[in-house]
Amino acid sequence: MSAPLNINAPRFWRTVERSDAIGIGRAGGLQRVALSDDDKIMRDQFVTWCKEAGYAVTVDRVGSIFARRAGEAPDLPPVVIGSHLDTQVNGGRYDGVLGVLAGLEVLRSLDDQRIKTKRAVEVVSWTNEEGARFSPPMVAAGAFAGVYPVDWVLGLKDDDGIGFGDELRRLGYDGRAPVGGRPLDAYFELHIEQGPELWERNIPVGLVTKGYAVRGTVVEVMGETAHTGPWPMDKRKNALVGAAMLAVAVNDIGWQFHASAGKATPSRLVAWPNKPGILSDWAQVTCDFRHLDPQSADQMKALMLAQLPELAKRANVEFKVVQEWVFGNERFDPACIGLLREASSRLGVPSIDMASQAGHDAYHVSKVAPTAMIFTPCRDGITHNNHEFADLERTLPGVNVLLNAVVARANRV
C-alpha cells in the first residue's frame, strides 16, 4: 500500500481567499446569492480554474457546473465531488465554498502527483443550494436526482418575479447538458459542520452517517383588507395577525422539543399589503421542523397543523398549507463512509460519526448514487452569518481524507 496523499494546502487556500473577494457582504461574510452578478463572477472564476487545468467543463440545463478529469476507462461512471458556490444573503465564506474548492484541489493534486485513475473524477458546483433567492433550496441537485422536473426549476421566480431560467440565460449559464440521467459511481461532499461539536472537541473530521429529519411547510393565511382605524376588532381578519400567531406557535413547538435537540423555525413571513393604515388580506409563513428522530419531526409538524383551527378562530382568518417538503431521511452509503474512515485512519486524522442537521446537495444525490459526506470544523458552529469562520489548519485534514477516499474509489474497476 502506497503512502497517503496530501493536497497542495497553500494553493487550496488561495482559491478560498479568491472566493472571499467575490460578493462581499457584511464584514467577514459573503452575499453571493444564486444567479446574481457576483455568482456569475465566481462561476466564471471556477470555470477558468478548471479549464486552465485541462478539465472538460459542462453546464447542465439548471446551471450546475461539472469539471471532469478523465479516467483510464472512459466508459465507467465517474466519482464526483461537489458542493455549492452560492451563499445566503448574510452568508459566510465557507459554507459550500470549501466543498467545491476542495474538489478542485483534489483534481489538481492528482495532476501534480501524476496519478491516473480508472474512473474519471469530477467536481460539481450545484446551482442554488441555499434557496436564499429561489425557493426551495438544493434545487439543482434535486433536479439531478429526479426529485424536481427541470422545467419546474427553470420556472421558479424570486421575490421580484424574476425567473430562474431567465437569470441562467442572462448569466450565460443556461447549459445544454441534460440534468442527471447518467450513473455516478459515488458522490463525496465536504462541508463545514454548521454545528459546534468538531470545533469544541478539536476533532478535524466528522463522518456523516445520516441527516436530521426535516419537515418543511409553507402556510398561507387568508384575511381581508380594512382600515386600521375604524374597523372594529371583532370584524377584523388581519392576515398578518394570523401569521404572527402561527410564527409564535411554531417557535413554541421548537422549545417543546428542545431537550431532545429538536428545532422549529418560522423562517420567513410575508404579508400583503403590509402597509401602515390597512389590514393585510394575505400572508405566508415558512415553517421548518427538524429532529434526529423522524417520528419526532413528524410529531412537531403535526402539532403545528393541529393548532391551525384554533389559531384561525383566534385571528379570524383561514390557513392553508400550500407547500410541503421532506428531507434528511437519507442514509449515506456504508462503503463510501468506509473509504473515508479508512483514509482518516491511514492519515492519522481523528474522526467521529455525526448526523447532519442542515440540508445538503448530498441528500438528493444519495437517491441516485452511493454518497458520503465529510464535515470540517467551523468556529462555535456559527453559520449563515458573516461571523462564520473556518481555517486552513482545521480544514486541511478533511480535504486530505477526501483526496485519499476519492483515489481509492476511482481506482476501483
Give, as ranges, the residues between 319 and 358 that touch its own copies (CB under 8 A): 357-358
User: Which of 128/404 has CB closer to its own copies?
Assistant: 128
User: Which of 57/292 has CB closer to its own copies?
Assistant: 292
Interacting positions 61-80 with its own copies (CB under 8 A) = none
Of 238, 307, 395, 404, which lies in the binding site for its own copies, with binding defined by CB under 8 A?
238
d(CA 263, CA 328): 14
User: CB 379 → its own copies: shortest distance, Å?
Assistant: 13
d(CA 34, CA 276): 32
Which stretch, 182-190, 268-276, 331-339, 399-407, contacts its own copies (CB under 8 A)?
Answer: 268-276
d(CA 287, CA 217): 5
Residue 224 in the binding site for its own copies (CB under 8 A): yes
Interacting positions 368-387 with its own copies (CB under 8 A) = 381-386
Give the count of beta carbons closer than 10 Å to the beta carbon of residue 66: 22
Of 273, 275, 283, nearest to 317 by C-alpha is 283
d(CA 210, CA 291): 12
Residue 269 in the binding site for its own copies (CB under 8 A): yes
DSSP code for 195: S
User: CB 250 → its own copies: shortest distance, Å?
Assistant: 9
d(CA 291, CA 279): 36
d(CA 322, CA 240): 17
User: Which of 42/198 has CB closer to its own copies?
Assistant: 198
Residue 402 in the binding site for its own copies (CB under 8 A): no
d(CA 288, CA 136): 12
User: CB 67 → its own copies: shortest distance, Å?
Assistant: 27
Residue 81 in the binding site for its own copies (CB under 8 A): no
The one-letter amino acid at 361: D
Of 63, 99, 206, 266, which lies in the binding site for its own copies, with binding defined by CB under 8 A?
266
47 close to 37: Cβ distance less than 8 angstroms: no
The site string for its own copies over 280-299 (x = CB under 8 A, - otherwise) reads xx----x-x-x---------
Count residues contacting its own copies (CB under 8 A)? 72
Residue 217 in the binding site for its own copies (CB under 8 A): no
Which stretch, 68-76, 85-93, 164-172, 183-191, contacts its own copies (CB under 8 A)?
Answer: 85-93
User: CB 169 → its own copies: shortest distance, Å?
Assistant: 24
212 close to 355: Cβ distance less than 8 angstroms: yes
The one-letter amino acid at 278: I
DSSP string, 256-272: HTGGGT-EEEEEEEEEE
Which stretch, 113-121, 211-219, 332-340, 364-372, contacts its own copies (CB under 8 A)?
Answer: 211-219
User: CB 345 → its own copies: shortest distance, Å?
Assistant: 27
Preceding omega of 309 cis (within 30 degrees of 0): no
User: Which of 80/283 has CB closer to its own copies?
Assistant: 283
| DSSP run (H or E) holding 81 | strand 79-84
User: CB 368 → its own copies: shortest distance, Å?
Assistant: 23
Of 148, 212, 363, 389, which lies in the binding site for its own copies, with binding defined by CB under 8 A?
212
Interacting positions 4-43 with its own copies (CB under 8 A) = none
Of 157, 258, 320, 331, which lies in the binding site for its own copies, with binding defined by CB under 8 A?
258
Interacting positions 97-126 with its own copies (CB under 8 A) = none
Which residues are CB-neighbours of 75 under 8 A, at least 6 positions away?
Answer: none
Of 16, 34, 208, 247, which lies in the binding site for its own copies, with binding defined by CB under 8 A?
247
Q: What is the 3-state secondary structure (H, E, C) of 312-335?
A: HHHHCCEEEEEEEEEECCCECCHH
Which residues are CB-neighbours of 283 under 8 A, at least 6 positions away?
Answer: 220, 221, 223, 239, 240, 242, 243, 269, 270, 271, 272
d(CA 78, CA 118): 9
Which stretch, 77-85, 147-155, 236-244, 403-411, contacts its own copies (CB under 8 A)?
Answer: 236-244
Residue 189 in the binding site for its own copies (CB under 8 A): no
